Amino acid sequence: MRSVRISKSDRAFPYYSTLPAIIVVFLVGVVPTLYSFIISLQSYELVSPVRAWVGLANYLKLFHDTRFFHAIGFALIFGFAATCCELVIGFLIAYLLADKEVPSRYSSMIRTVLMIPFVCAPVVMSYTYKTLIYDRTFGYLNYFLGLLHLGSFDLFKGSINAPLGLLVMEIILRTPFLVIIMYAGISSIDLAIYDAAEIDGITWLQKITKIVIPSIRAIILVGFALRFMDSLKMFDEIFVLTAGGPGYITENATVFIVEQGFTFFHMGYAAAAAFLFLVLVIILISLLIRRIEF
């Protein structure tokens, strides 16, 4: 039997063709990250032309900053809560849309409508929620609550309303992404499996827990990882809707970093916070990715 010889140029082709992309990723990803790390080792204030090397002083200061720990804590808790809610709601919607009883044109139309808030710019949607939905003077939510005699919702009252308002907005805006990817997964399950299970007398709950979820487990984990990473670094929604308030209640790590760097101009301190946060996110996502088996 003749063996197939691959020429040198053919072997090198994959490397040549991916090299431009690798260079771009390196320049816009790796280089700024390294530069941020260098800045984090300096006492770099934008209001002062002097930059001094201070080693790990910025990092040590962060470990004594309760505001930073609160921001990290809020980012993790909010990110986890939002992602879990989006997964559950997204799964239910995807499961219903994938049901063979639902005509495909209706399913397609609903999926398209669901995607509308997802494809709009986050800052636009945040302003819409702030002024037209949540605001008690201009917004629709309180108007309809009033019509139904259900009281009112004040975003900046107490310490629960602002995080709750953010959570609801985030779920409405971001669930469609999970709906789409889980719909794709559920739709690809072989119908013969359902038929065989029905012959064995499976209930609807067993169908979901024994067939559907195990079949799309990898998709669920990938969806969780992507959404969790996204919600950890959420900025536009918080900045527009609450500016991190009331007080610091809704301030997450990203808002904290932007405030330190671009409101107070403590660039070195902000870079250290950003780097620490990056390390934390990499650890969390690595732990998650390990559990994904394709």
Partner 1 sequence: MKASAKRAVAVLILLLATVWVSAGGKQEPSAKAAIPGDWGKINWQQFAGTTINVLNLNMPVATVYSEFVKEFESLTGMKVNVELLNENDRRKKAFIDFSSHMGTYDVQSVGFANREEWAVPGYLEDLGPYLKNPKLTDADWYDFKDYPEGVIASGYAKSGPLVYLPYTAEYFLLWYRKDIFKQLNLSIPKTFVELRETALKLTKAREAGTIKEYAWTERQLPGPGEAGWSLFCTANRFNFDFIDFDKKVSYVNTAKGLEVLTYYTSMVMDYGPPGSANWGWPMMAESFKQEKVVMITGGNASYTYLEDATQSKVAGRVGYAPTPFAPCGVDPLWVWGWGINKDSKQKEAAWLFVQWATSKPLMNRMAPKYGCPARVSVYSAPEYVKAMPSQEFIDAQLFMMTKGINPYPQLIHERYAEGAEIVSKEMSNILAGIKTVAQAAADADKQLMALGYTPGEWTKQCK
Q: Residues in the site for partner 1, rule: CB under 8 A?
A: 46-49, 130-131, 135-138, 142, 152, 154-159, 162, 241-249, 259, 262-265
For residue 28, the minimal CB distance to partner 1 (Å) is 17
Judged by beta carbon, residue 136 or residue 210, the one nearer partner 1 is 136
Judged by beta carbon, residue 237 or residue 259, the one nearer partner 1 is 259
Judged by beta carbon, residue 81 or residue 246, the one nearer partner 1 is 246
For residue 140, the minimal CB distance to partner 1 (Å) is 13
For residue 48, the minimal CB distance to partner 1 (Å) is 6
For residue 291, the minimal CB distance to partner 1 (Å) is 39
Judged by beta carbon, residue 32 or residue 214, the one nearer partner 1 is 32
Judged by beta carbon, residue 3 or residue 137, the one nearer partner 1 is 137
For residue 243, the minimal CB distance to partner 1 (Å) is 5
3-state secondary structure of 44: strand
Judged by beta carbon, residue 6 or residue 47, the one nearer partner 1 is 47
For residue 237, the minimal CB distance to partner 1 (Å) is 13
CA distance 273 to 252: 12
